[in-house]
Amino acid sequence: MQKLIIIGHRGAMAHKPENTLSSFQKAIELGADVIELDVYLSKDNHAIVIHDKSVDRTTNGKGNVNELTLEEIKQLTVEENETIPTLQDVIDLAKGKCKINIEVKDEKALEESIRIVKKNQLEDEVIISSFIQDVIKKSKEINSRIKTALLFVTAETKHLELANNLNAYYLHVHHSMIDKEFLEKAHNLNLKINVWGANNKKSVKKMV
């Protein structure tokens, strides 16, 4: 039986504030094989690790990430008095400890994310994932060495075909949509499936 791969979604967000260094550190301590994070681009072109396009929900500030400079973002606090990390901050923490799944939330953040990955020589330790098809396509054009993953909420045959046409290595779908037939079709196309949202023993057992 193959080893079960554990992905820490936004780190260990059940224990620490999502997408913070303490959350990623906790995920590593708990044995995550991969940490998943989200990236937007700041006003001054830094790759910022945050799930939403604005800072309103997770910090004490307001405004869209792309309208704020890195200096302005670093002045904001997340609960427990943490700050929003950059992609480089997370790499400095996680390099050599686990792999990193970078979900690109905005196409504008792709090139900077790949530049940072290449600078740190992590092309084989990173996955670029996105719901945005052009992100997957352009990622392969910029650096074909980095594995890509196309994200969908549902699991349909057309999604398998689309991922295959984009030369994606993975398809990421919600665990509730997976069945044996879908997995067989994916494997016939040499596509690997990662699931998200499997956060309890029952859902994990079903996937296994």
CB 119 within 8 A of CB 90: no
For the stretch 12-51, pLDDT in tens is: 999 999 999 999 999 999 999 999 999 999 999 999 999 9
Dihedral-angle region of residue 207 (phi above 0 means left; psi in -120 to 50 means alpha; beta otherwise): alpha
Greater confidence, 142 or 183? 142
Q: Which CATH number is correct for 7-133, 3.40.50.300, 3.20.20.190, 3.20.10.10, 3.40.50.970?
A: 3.20.20.190
Greater confidence, 104 or 152? 104
Quick check: pTM over 0.85? yes
**Domain range summary for the chain, segments of one domain joined by +:** 7-133, 152-208
CB 136 within 8 A of CB 166: yes
What pLDDT does residue 72 have?
Answer: 99
Name the DSSP letter for residue 40: E
In the set 9, 46, 159, 172, the catalytic residue is 9
Two tokens at 65?
């990430």
For CA atoms 47, 50, 51, 55, the dihedral sign is: negative
- Class of residue 188 by CB neighbours under 10 A (exposed 0-12, middle 13-18, buried 19+): exposed
Mean predicted lDDT score pLDDT of the chain: 93
* DSSP helix/strand/coil, 96: coil
For the stretch 108-148, pLDDT in tens is: 999 999 999 999 999 999 999 999 999 999 999 999 999 99
Name the DSSP letter for residue 130: E
* DSSP helix/strand/coil, 39: strand
For the stretch 63-74, pLDDT in tens is: 999 999 999 999
In the set 46, 51, 174, 187, the catalytic residue is 51
Taking the CA of residue 159 as centre, how many other CA atoms within 13 Å lie in the half-sphere pointing to its CB? 22
Two tokens at 90?
């997370």
What pLDDT does residue 182 have?
Answer: 86
Q: Is it the case that residue 89 has pLDDT exceeding 80?
A: yes
Round to whole Å and give the CA distance between 123 and 100.
10
* DSSP helix/strand/coil, 129: strand
Judge whether 9 counts as a catalytic residue. yes
Distances (CA, A) of 63 to 22, 42, 59, 76: 24, 11, 10, 11
CB 97 within 8 A of CB 84: no
**180: pLDDT confidence band, cut at 50, 70 and 90?**
confident
